[in-house]
Amino acid sequence: MTPTLIENVIKIFRNNNKIIFTDPKNKNIKVYKGSNFICPNQTEFNNFFDYEKLKLNKKSILKLIKKTKCDAFIVTKGSKGITIYSKSKKNINISQESVNVYDVTGAGDTFIALFSFLISNKIDVISSLKISSYACIKIVQKKHTAILSFKEFQNILGKFCIENKTTLNLKIKLWKLAKFKIGITNGCFDILHSGHLHLFKLAKEQCDKLLVLINSDNSVRKLKGNNRPRIKLSKRIELIKLISCVDDIISFDEKTPINTIKKIIPNILFKGSDYKLEEVVGYDFVTKNRGKVKIIKKLKDYSTSKLIEKKISTNA
């Protein structure tokens, strides 16, 4: 592409409110004016300063950011990781995992393709860079020109969520980008029993990620009376976190989880067989959003309320 063509393309994208990611090959940085993110490797970044006859320092970097009106330079440095230079923040360095490199062909393209995809889907810059960095590590370990498979993409997102303090909202966004099937179930889970474990196990067998929506202490009181819950929310959450088939837990304060369900927009909503399908809270919303509602047959003689009643009668 000629410099004039690049400049005209950037103007068109700018006029249409598009986010612009540039993989620069021209030493004249003015060509890329108007880009949101300019993503050179270390050599290309150095070339900008040689062309402008500037020393590579903080003052010069800010000068080039001002000249290009970009949000940031994202500089890839091979085994040394990635550095972000922006006008509003201190330089941020993202380290790279040390691996055996077979071939770097395709790594740069993978990086900018995945980074632009994540940013365009409203994932924050730091998370997008870390995930894209993980992808590059996978690419350089392959021989010849390589691509990232969708399964590898899913694994990378899973690794990122485990290794970083990821908020639940971000986790759900990433799960959806990875096309994971998200299932949810809800309840008070006041005195966890085998019936609950049975529900979680069968639900997880039908989805990739299982979220448990749990009533807060205040919510339980609204539903069950002032003598409930028997177990505080923090302890109920602590117990459910020990169950391997549960991927995360969300508490809610209302009588029903409908507002939380609307935020998540799950693929599948699971409920025990003491409910009819159309009676399940969230049935209309989930089905209207192309999701499914599934009833899981309960184990006999397992009910928190009955267990509590039995305990009271035994002590009477």
* β-pair type (209-215, 82-86): unpaired
Structure tokens at 87: 């006008």
> Cα–Cα distance between 88 and 199 in angstroms, integer?
49
Catalytic residue among 23, 50, 71, 109: 109
The per-residue DSSP string of 179-222 comes to T--EEEEEE--SS--HHHHHHHHHHHTT-SEEEEEEE-HHHHHH
Residues 261 and 184 sit within 8 Å (Cβ to Cβ)? yes
Residues 75 and 116 sit within 8 Å (Cβ to Cβ)? no
> Cα–Cα distance between 262 and 258 in angstroms, integer?
6
Residues 293 and 271 sit within 8 Å (Cβ to Cβ)? yes
> Cα–Cα distance between 120 and 18 in angstroms, integer?
9
**Burial class, 307, CB count within 10 angstroms (exposed 0-12 / middle 13-18 / buried 19+):** middle
Asked about 109 being catalytic, the answer comes back as yes
**Neighbouring residues of 120: CB distance < 8 A, sequence distance ≥ 6:** 19
Closest by CA to 157, choosing from 140, 133, 185, is 133
The per-residue DSSP string of 62-94 comes to HHHHHHHT-SEEEEE-GGG-EEEEESSS--EEE
Which residues are the active-site residues? 109
